[in-house]
Structures are given as structure tokens and as C-alpha cells.
Amino acid sequence: MKVAVLGAGAIGAYVGAALHRAGADVHLIARGPHLAAMRRHGVQVLSPRGDFTSLAHATDDPSDIGPVDYVFLGLKANSYAACGPLVQPLLGQHTAVIAAQNGIPWWYFHRYGGPHEGRRIESVDPGGAVSAVLPPERAIGCVVYAATELAGPGVVRHLEGTRFSIGEPDRTVSRRCTGFSEAMEAGGLRCPVEGDLRDDIWIKLLGNISFNPLSALTRATMRQMCVHRDTRQVIEVMMNETLQVAAALGSRPAITVEKRLAGAERVGEHKTSTLQDLEKGKPLELDVLLAAVVELAGVTDVPVPTLRTVHAIADLLGRSMSAAA
């Protein structure tokens, strides 16, 4: 099995290191000091489950790699439309693209069935720019439940969780999914193939759609948002509105708002990825988390006043940051 990890940051390098440990032919695509460190010393993984080092090939030039069986996308979703020159050399006739993204994916309505079959979500796939680069028929969905961080160039600290749920847009259990799942599990990760990954997407989105934008607006940690009474109430409303949109689209994620909040509070004084991006002056990845659900609420005629309000404020923050950059 030949795998390219495009965007070998904290999650991508962790997955690549695990697959390499299992014997896959892995190629990590990165840049800067992180790439230089991986070239010199490999990927060093620090984990409560045991430290290890992977000496997978690392490069900044995908043309050095050529077509692969799988491209694992570790990029932020707001980078997908511009990744064409990087991903194109990696695509063969049967290459699958596994997108480890948060939020609503560009392929959501591909092979969906029903009245929304093939619908393009403008906030996720503006003008079809993402689909042009990453054709939906190549997509395998992926919901990441693992938490990692870069402790330094070439060094990944695994914090918790090993689950990477995957699934086909058409809800079949395909050979390309089971093959990737087996390789991930051989490398020490959990990788269940779900019958309908969309339910998992909504479960994770419940947290991302509320905690991520609110953390950017308040600069608060997960626990701080959970224990502040009024903010917790706003989060509850946002989650319930999100569940109503999911239900209107036929999804019934098997989780309650109370359970999702309890899990978030246990995370403790953790900063969301959106807050970390804000502090680093990076673009905020809110279109797939928040704007997409507001758009889908319009499609399904579900009233989401709180989601719309938070989106308006967070969108202004993101635009102000972009203008100042």
C-alpha cells in the first residue's frame, strides 16, 4: 500500500508514522523546519501508549512521489481549493482521497440519494472549486477523534484517542475502506468503517460548531465555556439547533447535548484549534463548521437564530483578521 500524507502536521504525521510502522509505503508532504526535522530524524511520536520513531520518506515535492493508493489530507479544509498543484501528481486512476477534516465535507451530498442528491454546498465548495481539485468520487470521509499537537519540528505529541472513523459517501463498505482500515489498525490506531459516516460528522460537529467560534470570540478554554452559566446556555442552544438541521437531512446522531457538554468539560483547560489559529494569526476554519450548517438550515427551512447570530459575529472577526494580514 502506497500512501501520501498531504499536510503532514500533527495529525497527518501521526497517521503517517503509524501506517509506516505497519509496513505501508508512506510519503509525508510538509515544509519548513518541520520537514527538515523529519528528513533528519524521522517523525518522533511521544505517546502515553509508547513512544516510537518513524523514518518515512518526507518531501515538499509531490512529483517525487507519483501516484499513490491513498492520499490522506491533513490540510485545513479552507486550503482544499488551492491544493491542486500538490495533489495532482499523487492521483492515479484509482487513488482514494481520505479527508481528515472537521465540519461538513464538500462531498456531503455525493451519492446521498433523495431530493438533495448532488447538491453543492456553496460555503464549503465555492463555485465548485474544491470538487474540481478533489472529485467527490475519490472521497472517503474521515472523522478524527484523536488529539495530537506538534511539540516541536518533527515531534508529535499524542494527547488522547486513537479513533479515525471512515466511510464511503454511498454508505457501502468498500474494499478501499477496509484496506485502509486494516493498515491503520496494524499501526496501532482504531479505524472503524461506518455504514453512514454522516452521523459521526454531526456528532463531532456538535462541539466544533459551538466551542470553536465561541472560543475565538471569548478567548476561553473548553472548561471555561462549559462552567460559565450563560455561555453554556448559548452552547446548548447552538447544539440543539444543529441537531434540528441534522434531523431535517435524515441524520440522527446517537448523542445528547448533555453528554456532548460533559465530554467537553472533561477536556479541561484546552484551547480549540480555532482559538489556536486566532492566536497565531492564521485564517479561521469556520466555513465548514458554522457557515455550512447555516446554509443547510436555509435549504431545509430550519430556523437557527443563534447559529446565524454567532456566524455573523465570527465571520466579521475572520474577515477583519484577513484584512489586517
Could you give the residue numbers annotated as active site?
204
Integer angstrom CA distances of residue 212 from 206, 245, 270, 303 = 10, 19, 11, 21
Indicate the residue type of 277: D
Smallest CA-to-CA distance from 97 within 77, 112, 116 is with: 77
CA distance 310 to 215: 11
Can you tell me the distance from the alpha carbon of 178 to that of 181, in angstroms, rounded to the nearest whole number? 5
Helix count and strand count (H, E) for the chain: 12, 11
What are the residues whose beta carbons fall under 8 Å from the beta carbon of 57, sequence distance 6 or more? 26, 27, 28, 65
- Residue that the C-alpha cell 457501502 belongs to: 172
Which of 104, 84, 74, 94 is CA-nearest to residue 4? 74
- State how beta strands 25-29 and 43-46 pair: unpaired
Side chain identity, residue 292: A
Identify the bridge partners of residue 152 per DSSP, sorted by sequence position: 155
